[in-house]
Structures are given as C-alpha cells and as structure tokens.
Amino acid sequence: MKIVVLDGYTLNPGDLSWAGLEELGDLTVYDRTVFDRSNDNLIIERIGDAQIVFTNKTPLPREVLSKVPNVKYIGVLATGYNIVDIEAAKELGITVTNIPTYGTDSVAQMVFAHLLEICHHVAAHSDAVKNGEWTNNVDWCFWKYPLIELAGKTMGIIGYGRIGQAVGRVAQAFGMKVLANDKYPNKDLESDTLKYVELDELLANSDVISLHCPLFEENKGMINKDSIAKMKDGVIIINTSRGPLIVEDDLAEALNSGKVYAAGLDVVSTEPIKADNPLLKAKNIFLTPHIAWAPKESRQRLMDIAVNNLKQFLEGSPVNVVNQ
C-alpha cells in the first residue's frame, strides 16, 4: 500500500518521526507541493497510484480527485478540511478524516501570549532595557506603554467549544468574567463568572474579544465595521481561529482610529500574509505566523492522531470522518 504526504514539513520539520506511518505502508513524504489552481498536474503526479494521501494545506479539489482513481483515504493533517472537496470525495468513495482536538491547550496558551504582550509589552520593554534606557533613567523604573491588569475585566469568547472553553478557564483564573457565545450553549458551564449571551450583548460588554469559531460562509467577515461599532471603545481583539472571520481593512481602520485599542492575530485572510495587507501598517497590532498549533507537544499529538486515524480506517472502523 502506497502512502503519500503532500506537504509534511510544517508538521514535521525534522523533530518528529514518520515511523508510525512507515509501519503501515510504503511512505513517500514531500516537504511541500507547490500548487497553481490553474494547473493541478504536480499534485496528481505526486499522488500517482497511491491509495492513501495526507495533506495539510495542499488542495484536493474535484479536478484532482477525479484523476487519482486509486485513492481510498485522505487524511487532513489539520482540524479544518476546506482544502478537500469532501462532496466529490464522498461521491468517489474516498474517506476523509481530520484531526479535531490536538491543539486545544497550545491555542489557548497563544491567546494569552498575545493578550499579555498587549497588556505589558514585554518585548518592547526588554529591548528598551538592553538599549540602555533603564541604565540611564532618572527613576528606578519606567514604562513606555500603558500597562493593563486583566482581573475584573470581561472576556467575550465567540465559539465556546473545546478551545473556547480552555481559554475561558484561563481567563477566569486571571480573575476575568467570561461572556460566551455559541450555537450550542452548554448551560451546565455557567457560573458567577461565566454566562452565555447573544452576540450583540457580548460585543457591547467585553473588554477583550477572542474568536474561536469555525469558518463558514455565514460568519465570514463577522468582525467588520458594523460589529466593531457595537464594541466598547478601547476593546482588544484576539484571533487564533480563522483569518477570514475579520474584514482586515475595517480592523485596520478601527486600530488606527483608536476604537480598537489593540489586536493580536495568529491568522490572516491569506497566508503567508501579503505585503499589502493593511494590518501590517496598523497601530498596536501584534501578528504571529499561524503558530498557535505548532509547539512540538501539539504536533506530536497531531501525528499520533493521524496515524491512529489511518489504522482505524484500515481496520474497517474509521474515526474522525468528515464526509460520512
């Protein structure tokens, strides 16, 4: 049985092992598969006569799937699976799986990495000290930006699934109150410091808003000029979910005007980020290159789940199937 990984480098740049997949078949791993939507030939060529295909971001549209008749299984090396035409795969008898829960703690941690940087500007103050500003300061301490305490403030969390709940637990540990918005609220989670609310109430009453909802056509661009207008002046926005949830021109305008005090984003609308993205020149913006998922521990869990997904498929009891 032939197994092909189309773009394995981001999952395993060399610090993990492919041994689990090697035990299951004849494995070929490509670091990257450069693709052009007008020409899918390289993807088709690399899949060849393989029965098993793994992809992270290399797209597998109907046009590709229809030309690789041996493929029986596609393992998406991520939670989001919009890169695969799952309807076409179903029609062609191809099982598609994803990795649903590997990065919960890592993503929650990144939310607070961004938020604490916004509150304390640790990097900027460290640079200032190294550049001699403390040595030459007339007082025993100084700060170059307003410093913010989180205790007593309210965090609004849009999307209160596994990751949203993990973020909520950390927020409450910091002494924050949590307003949660979710299509399927779990009222058992409510307490003195957590309640479910409608989206407009969340927007109006949150000091910090963190996005943790999947991307669908109906919520694309949900953070826009109109929704920002409903927010508190000086709100902080964090997005570790999906870039297209935000209309970037509108967020940049709100940052530059001061309506939004700061934003911490690990995702943008097009990745890698384009040179003309308006957020690159916006005020008080903190950008990281989609790394919330990437601690080694998180990637190892992803690898382990990917291997188990394939094992379960081969044994006739597939799990984490997204196109049943």
Catalytic residues: 242, 271, 290
**Cα separation, 155 vs 280, whole angstroms:** 25
CB 96 within 8 A of CB 76: yes
Dist CA 163 CA 271 (whole Å): 22
Cα 196–Cα 201–Cα 204 angle in degrees, nearest 5: 135
Tokens of 263: 């934003």
Q: How many other C-beta atoms lie within 10 A of the C-beta of residue 152?
A: 10
Query: Would you tell me how many other CB atoms lie within 10 Å of the CB of residue 18?
Result: 16
Best CA proximity match to 208, nearest among 262, 279, 282, 266: 262
Please say whether the beta carbons of 316 and 287 come within 8 A.
no
Sheet holding 95-97, edge to edge: 26-29, 2-5, 52-55, 73-76, 95-97
The candidate with the shortest Cα–Cα distance to 209, out of 248, 257, 158, 259, is: 158
